[in-house]
Amino acid sequence: MSMDPQGVADAVDEVGRVLRADGADLLLVEADPKTLRIPLRLRLDRVECADCVLPPGQLAETVTQAIRRRVPGEFELLLEDPRNG
Domain range summary for the chain, segments of one domain joined by +:
5-84
pLDDT per residue over 7-56, tens digit each? Answer: 999 999 999 999 999 899 999 999 999 999 999 999 999 999 988 999 99
Fold of 5-84: GMP Synthetase; Chain A, domain 3 (3.30.300)
pLDDT per residue over 60-76, tens digit each? Answer: 999 999 999 999 889 99
Full DSSP string of 17-45: HHHHTTT-EEEE---BTTTTEEEEEEE-T
Q: Is pTM beyond 0.85 here?
A: yes
